[in-house]
Structure 1
Amino acid sequence: MKQIIQSFKTGETILEDIPAPQVARGSVLIQTTRSLVSLGTERMLVEFGKSNLISKARQQPDKVKQVLDKIKTEGLMPTLEAVFNKLGEPLPLGYCNVGKVIAVGEGVSEFNVGDRVASNGQHAEYVNIPKNLVAHIPENVSDEEAAFTVVGSIGLQGIRLCDPTLGETIVVVGLGLIGLLTAELLVANGCRVIGVDLDAKKIELAQAKGIIGINPRAGDDVVKSVLGITNGIGADGVIITASAKNNEIISQAAQMSRKRGRIVLVGVIGLDISRAEFYEKELSFQVSCSYGPGRYDEDYERKGIDYPLSFVRWTEKRNFEAVLNAISTGKLEVKSLITERVALTDFKDIYDNISGQGSIASILEYPLESDSSNTVVLNSNSFVNGKGGIGIIGSGNFTKMTMLPALKAANADLISIASAGGVSGTAMAKKYGIAKSTTNYNEIFDDPSVDLVLITTRHNQHAQMVVEGLNKGKHIFVEKPLALTDAELSTIVEAYKGSKTLTVGFNRRFSPHIQKIKKLVGNSPMNVIATMNAGHIPANVWIHDMKVGGGRIIGEACHFIDLITFLTGSKVKAVCMNAMGPNPQENTDNASILLEYENGSTGVINYFSNGSKAYSKERIEVYSQERTAIMDNFRVTTGYGFKGFSKLKTGLDKGHKEQFKLLIDVLKDGGKPLIPIDEIINTTKASFAAIESLKTKSWVTII
């Protein structure tokens, strides 16, 4: 299928061949007929992409600080590599999509094949959208009218926060697409509406819809004009839909407001607020968040859990429906806002002039027939069955920034990559010479030329995919964790026959620093302290969901259980864990794990998220036979009491490259598994035992 994407690095906008998505649970698959180009939002993205590195940095000072902190802890070159990889990510454009449902995912009963729907889908011939971001289109509303649904809901949410009543005077600053829609909806709400813009054509269009126009470029004084219209009282509310870098708009909004007036920001402006202007009138100020309640809430958007209507009257989906109803009943007229209609293949007619054109709304028209294949072939490389071909499932940051560079260095034969949306997977395939990009991971399992499958998806998919791959006779590499529950682990153990290898991405044991320490201390009983300065992750991120990410102990701290197992040369016998906070069973961000090993060694894992980012992220201390080894952030290892060794210095090296080099060697030439399967199982059980220990407040023995 065709999809419009943009490069953050260069700002170039292209129509890319992407594998069509598959319908997912809780979602509907839509064949697009129309989409609307939101010129304001997309113009900002394109202009940001075209700006140079210095300009990009100036626009994102918070990101610059993160980069500087990363340089301090990880070094210059790894940081620069991460920054340039991030800039190289393709960005799918668009969020105003209309089309026909062609498939319905499991758990969806609200939609049927053939329904016409509006959604926040991108500029693509096919989109897979969660059900709470999709709305039915009334029969009397055309597809191109329905394309205004999502952008209209942005304005509608600003109105809801402003809470206007019949007869109030509301000023809309900025009469671009969102501003015009906002103003017209306010008129339908019974308000007297004043629109402010510098474009005479937009003022004229607004006036035709019953809106009072003010144009500073024509000599109008905005504040004096509003005060004159309101007989000196001032506006009851101001909704700002403009985009500007200075603070003039927020100051004018305060000056034109009545006492205790409301100001709502929908657009992007400077926010150096004058306390005096707000204090004297007791003004309220609020920033509107996109389409409405539910936005950026994973439970609502991805899992389809709706807010009860009696408690949250207007969610983003119900805002979609309200806009569609306003169009259906004639209260919102949008056809006059359409500046041009362009075929998808002629998209450059819009984007090549997006910074200079006077368009308000541009409609992209899609072909009736389009390629719905789930796989795109990027090159015709031929691969021989059983000769080390590799397929990758998952195209997240780990795949892009760590795995693929390491595989490239190991001269791996990369055949296929699978990604849910197809965009990121296709970009990686092009960069690293992978033959195929697909959205159907089963095609990788069914491909006889693929011998090794690398799994880097979200954690809740690991066990299922490992079992599927083993049952298909593939060698499997899966990023940690192997499984999230005992039941999942049991299915893997049952599927594992030993004829194929199963490797978990416990890369740290392959770091030259850990290899050096292991060589120095041997297998004698020892005490090992591993400290992870993990950093804070917001509570709504999927890693914290025990059913999806497994939490940070099962999902991440398992790395250090394996590392200590490798150093001690023994398996975990018993586990005890304690965590900080009022509800430690629900928050394992700050926890200490005590490990008892079969050979008498002791391990301590301090996994903390409340430390400074300027401090080293990882530190290992090993104490044995009056000798001590200290490893700092996989860059420096210092030895005390060792004959002939005092220090090892390298660039940041967590063992990824060596791990994948050894994995490719085993795949092509045969040999023992990189990590014994009994150690992998023991480590996984130990991570489960840590959570059980926290719940029972006792030691848990590994069986």
Structure 2
Amino acid sequence: MKQIIQDLKNGDTILEEVPAPLVKAGQVLIQTTRSLVSLGTERMLVEFGKANFLEKARQQPDKVKEVINKVKTDGLQPTINAVFNKLGQPLPLGYCNVGKVIAVGKGVAEFSVGDRVASNGHHAEYVSVPKNLVAKIPDNVSDEEAAFTVIGAIGLQGIRLANPTFGESVVVVGLGLIGLITAQLLKANGCQVIGFDFDPSKVALAQSLGIDAVNPGEGTDQVAYVTNATQGVGADAVIITASNKSNEIISQSAKMSRKKGRIVLVGVIGLDISRADFFEKELTFQVSCSYGPGRYDESYEQKGQDYPLPYVRWTEKRNFEAILQAISTQSIQVGPLITERVPLSEYKQIYGDMGNSKSIASILVYPEKNTDPQRSVALISHSFAGSKGVVGIIGAGNFTSAMILPCLKKTPANLKFISSSGGLSGTTLAKKFDVAQSTTDNKLIFSDPEVDLVMVTTRHNAHASMVVEALNAGKHVFVEKPLALTQDELDKVLEAYVESGKTVSVGFNRRFAPLALQMKKALGSGNTPMNITATMNAGFIPANVWVHDMEVGGGRIIGEACHFIDLITSLCGSKVKAVCMNAMGTDPEENTDNASILLKYENGTNAVINYFANGSKAYSKERVEVFHQDRTLVMDNWRKLKGYGFKNFSSASSKQDKGHQNQFDLLINSVQKGGEAIIPMDELVNTTKASFAAIESLKTGAWVAVD
């Protein structure tokens, strides 16, 4: 399928060929007929992509601070690699999509194949969209008209926050696409509407729609105009839909407001607010968040959990439906806002010179297709017949892009497949790293007889099931940590492992780091007990991010602290016998990422893992101390190692290397030449069970034995 993307590195806007997505549970698969180009939002993205690195930095000062902190802790080269990796990920454009439902995912009852729907899908021939971001189109609303649904919902949400009542005077600052729809909705709500814009054509269009529209560039004083139009009262509310870096807009909005007036920001403007402007009138100011309640809430958007209507009357989906109803009843007119209709293949008519475009609404027209969507795209011609170490990768996220594929390219691995849910990220990485095929259908990987190693790098909740499926298909498996999230999942993995005769490897790369190998060598091979303290200054992650969701990410102890359980197992040469965990806070039922894990090992080793998320980013992220036979080792952030009391070792240093390259070198060699897994399966199982035991210990307040 074709999809429009923005290359953030060189600024090109591209019509890319990518595999069509499969429909997911809780989603609908849509074949697109029309999509609307949001010139305001998309122009900013295109201009950001075209900006040089210095200009990009100026536009995102907060990101610059993060980069500087990363240089201090991780070093210059890893930071540069991370920045270029981020810029190398293309951005899918568009969020106003209309089309026909061609497949319905599990758990979706409100849509059927053949329904015409509007959604926030991208500019792509096929999109899979969660059901709470999709709305049915009334029969008397055309696809072109319905393309305004999402952009209209943005304006509608701004109105809901302003909470106008019949007869109130409301000013709309900026008569672009959102502003023109907002003004019409306010007029339909019985408000006196005044609109301002410096573009004469937009002012004229607003006036043709019955809006009292004014061009301040012709000499009109905005504050005086509003004062006169409201008989000296001032505006009850001001809704700002403009995009301008000037602070003058917020100042003018305050001055034209009545005492205790409301100001709502929908657009993007300078926000150097004068206290005096707001203090004297006791004004309220609020920023509107996109389409409405539910936006950026994963439970609502991705899991389909609706907010009860009696308590949240207007969600983003219900705002979509309200806009469609307004178009259906002709309470608002969107047809006059269409400036141009452009076939998808001629997209450069819109994106070629976006900065100078005077268009209000551009509609992309998609070709009709009667064939099934293609789920795989061949990118290079290469024979894998008879090869060993033929790899199929499932997952094309940041870690795959930044670490796994660069490491694999330095090995003799044969990269045949990469699979991603939407098709775009996988295709981008396939082109960059010479992977033969990009797909959205994992079954192509499992069923391909040439693939002998499947690598799973998805979100954690899919790890165990994909490992089982790969083993059942007769493939060796590498899976990023964790191996499983529950004991039931682990049992199924073990059953498939025993029956398959294939190897399983988990991405516990720390044990393969050069400094970890040097530590193990210095400590010697004697199976004698040690005291080990490991600290992970993990950093704060907001509570709504998926890693904290016990059903999706398993929490950070199971999902991340397992790294250091495995490392300690490797260093001491023994397996965990019992676990006790204590966490900051008072409720043991709460998920945690601030905890101390105490580990008893079979050989008497005593270890503590301090996994903290409340430390400074300026401090080392990882630190390990080992006390053994009157000797001490201190490893700092995988860059420095110091030894105390050793006869033939005092210190070592390294570029920051957490063992990924060594891990993949060993893995590919094992698959190609045969042999044992790079980490014994009993150790993988022991580490996984120890992470489960840590969570159980927190809940019970007692030591938990690891079988």
TM-score where L is the length of structure 2:
0.99
Q: Provide the rounded CA distance (Å) in 2 between the counterparts of 1:13 and 1:524.
A: 61
Which residue of the partner structure matches residue 533 of structure 1? Answer: 537
Whether 2:697 is the aligned partner of 1:696: answer no
Which residue of the partner structure matches residue 151 of structure 1? Answer: 151
Which residue of the partner structure matches residue 244 of structure 1? Answer: 244
Residue pair 1:214, 1:225 contacting (<8 A) in 2 also: no
Amino acid at match of 2:555: G
Which residue of the partner structure matches residue 469 of structure 1? Answer: 470
What SS is found at the alignment partner of 1:355? helix
What SS is found at the alignment partner of 2:616? coil
1:149 is displaced (CA, Å) by 0.1
1:206 is displaced (CA, Å) by 0.5
Which residue of the partner structure matches residue 544 of structure 1? Answer: 548
Amino acid at match of 2:287: V
Whether 2:362 is the aligned partner of 1:358: answer no
Which residue of the partner structure matches residue 40 of structure 2? Answer: 40
Which residue of the partner structure matches residue 198 of structure 1? Answer: 198
Whether 2:457 is the aligned partner of 1:495: answer no
Q: Provide the rounded CA distance (Å) in 1 between the counterparts of 2:388 and 2:236.
A: 73
Residue pair 1:662, 1:674 contacting (<8 A) in 2 also: yes
Q: Provide the rounded CA distance (Å) in 2 between the counterparts of 1:501 and 1:635.
A: 32
1:524 is displaced (CA, Å) by 2.3
Which residue of the partner structure matches residue 586 of structure 1? Answer: 590
Residues 158-179 of structure 1 deviation map (CA, whole Å, 9 limit, x = unaligned): 0000000111110000000000
Which residue of the partner structure matches residue 602 of structure 1? Answer: 606
1:671 is displaced (CA, Å) by 2.1
Q: Provide the rounded CA distance (Å) in 1 between the counterparts of 2:59 and 2:384.
A: 46
Q: Provide the rounded CA distance (Å) in 2 between the counterparts of 1:243 and 1:371.
A: 41
1:473 is displaced (CA, Å) by 0.5
Which residue of the partner structure matches residue 223 of structure 1? Answer: 223
Residue pair 1:418, 1:440 contacting (<8 A) in 2 also: yes
Q: 2:671 aligns with which of 667, 679, 682?
A: 667
- Off by >3 Å, runs of 4+ in structure 1: none
Residues 27-79 of structure 1 deviation map (CA, whole Å, 9 limit, x = unaligned): 00000000000000000000011011111111111100100000000000000
What SS is found at the alignment partner of 1:552? helix
Which residue of the partner structure matches residue 382 of structure 1? Answer: 383
Amino acid at match of 1:646: S
1:385 is displaced (CA, Å) by 4.0
What SS is found at the alignment partner of 1:33? strand
Whether 2:518 is the aligned partner of 1:510: answer no
Residues 293-321 of structure 1 deviation map (CA, whole Å, 9 limit, x = unaligned): 00000000000000000000000000000
1:515 is displaced (CA, Å) by 0.4
Which residue of the partner structure matches residue 279 of structure 1? Answer: 279
Residue pair 1:581, 1:587 contacting (<8 A) in 2 also: no
Which residue of the partner structure matches residue 140 of structure 1? Answer: 140
Q: Provide the rounded CA distance (Å) in 2 between the counterparts of 1:411 and 1:363.
A: 47
Q: Provide the rounded CA distance (Å) in 2 between the counterparts of 1:672 and 1:451.
A: 15
1:331 is displaced (CA, Å) by 0.2
Which residue of the partner structure matches residue 293 of structure 2? Answer: 293
Which residue of the partner structure matches residue 636 of structure 1? Answer: 640
Aligned length: 703
Q: Provide the rounded CA distance (Å) in 2 between the counterparts of 1:642 and 1:184.
A: 79
Amino acid at match of 1:169: S
Which residue of the partner structure matches residue 305 of structure 2? Answer: 305
Which residue of the partner structure matches residue 522 of structure 2? Answer: 520
What SS is found at the alignment partner of 1:556? helix
Amino acid at match of 1:86: K
Q: Provide the rounded CA distance (Å) in 2 between the counterparts of 1:419 and 1:21.
A: 8
Which residue of the partner structure matches residue 54 of structure 1? Answer: 54
Q: Provide the rounded CA distance (Å) in 2 between the counterparts of 1:385 and 1:417.
A: 20
Q: Provide the rounded CA distance (Å) in 2 between the counterparts of 1:275 and 1:385.
A: 73
Amino acid at match of 2:510: R
1:371 is displaced (CA, Å) by 6.3
Superposition map of 1:84-95 within 5 A: 84-95=84-95
1:229 is displaced (CA, Å) by 1.2
Residue pair 1:416, 1:435 contacting (<8 A) in 2 also: yes
Superposition map of 1:156-235 within 5 A: 156-235=156-235
1:583 is displaced (CA, Å) by 2.5
Residue pair 1:579, 1:585 contacting (<8 A) in 2 also: no
Amino acid at match of 2:194: I
Q: Provide the rounded CA distance (Å) in 2 between the counterparts of 1:693 and 1:158.
A: 48
* C-alpha RMSD of matched pairs (Å): 0.8
Which residue of the partner structure matches residue 117 of structure 2? Answer: 117
Residue pair 1:152, 1:181 contacting (<8 A) in 2 also: yes
Residue pair 2:378, 2:437 contacting (<8 A) in 1 also: yes
Residue pair 2:239, 2:266 contacting (<8 A) in 1 also: yes
Whether 2:589 is the aligned partner of 1:615: answer no
Which residue of the partner structure matches residue 478 of structure 1? Answer: 479
Q: Provide the rounded CA distance (Å) in 2 between the counterparts of 1:672 and 1:472.
A: 19
Q: Provide the rounded CA distance (Å) in 2 between the counterparts of 1:14 and 1:475.
A: 37
1:584 is displaced (CA, Å) by 4.0
- Percent identity over the alignment? 69
Residues 637-657 of structure 1 deviation map (CA, whole Å, 9 limit, x = unaligned): 111111121111111100000
Residue pair 1:459, 1:555 contacting (<8 A) in 2 also: yes
Residue pair 2:260, 2:283 contacting (<8 A) in 1 also: yes
Q: Provide the rounded CA distance (Å) in 2 between the counterparts of 1:304 and 1:643.
A: 62
Q: Provide the rounded CA distance (Å) in 1 between the counterparts of 2:392 and 2:423.
A: 15
Which residue of the partner structure matches residue 368 of structure 1? Answer: 368
1:594 is displaced (CA, Å) by 0.3
Amino acid at match of 2:596: S
Amino acid at match of 1:365: V
Residue pair 1:385, 1:448 contacting (<8 A) in 2 also: no
Residue pair 1:386, 1:451 contacting (<8 A) in 2 also: no
Q: Provide the rounded CA distance (Å) in 2 between the counterparts of 1:219 and 1:202.
A: 17
Residue pair 1:26, 1:303 contacting (<8 A) in 2 also: yes
Amino acid at match of 1:403: I
1:116 is displaced (CA, Å) by 0.3
Q: Provide the rounded CA distance (Å) in 1 between the counterparts of 2:240 and 2:9.
A: 30
Residue pair 2:481, 2:506 contacting (<8 A) in 1 also: yes
What SS is found at the alignment partner of 1:341? strand
1:588 is displaced (CA, Å) by 1.4
What SS is found at the alignment partner of 1:281? coil
Which residue of the partner structure matches residue 17 of structure 1? Answer: 17
Residue pair 2:528, 2:604 contacting (<8 A) in 1 also: no
Q: Provide the rounded CA distance (Å) in 2 between the counterparts of 1:632 and 1:511.
A: 13
Q: Provide the rounded CA distance (Å) in 1 between the counterparts of 2:263 and 2:391.
A: 56
Q: Provide the rounded CA distance (Å) in 2 between the counterparts of 1:371 and 1:112.
A: 17
What SS is found at the alignment partner of 2:86? helix
Amino acid at match of 1:141: V
Superposition map of 1:401-420 within 5 A: 401-420=402-421
Q: Provide the rounded CA distance (Å) in 2 between the counterparts of 1:504 and 1:101.
A: 39
Residues 589-628 of structure 1 deviation map (CA, whole Å, 9 limit, x = unaligned): 1000000000000110000000000000000000000100
Amino acid at match of 2:206: A
Residues 471-518 of structure 1 deviation map (CA, whole Å, 9 limit, x = unaligned): 111000000000000000000111113621100000000001110011
What SS is found at the alignment partner of 1:623? strand
What SS is found at the alignment partner of 2:260? strand
Residues 397-450 of structure 1 deviation map (CA, whole Å, 9 limit, x = unaligned): 110001000001113210000000011000000000000000011111111111
Which residue of the partner structure matches residue 8 of structure 1? Answer: 8
Superposition map of 1:447-466 within 5 A: 447-466=448-467
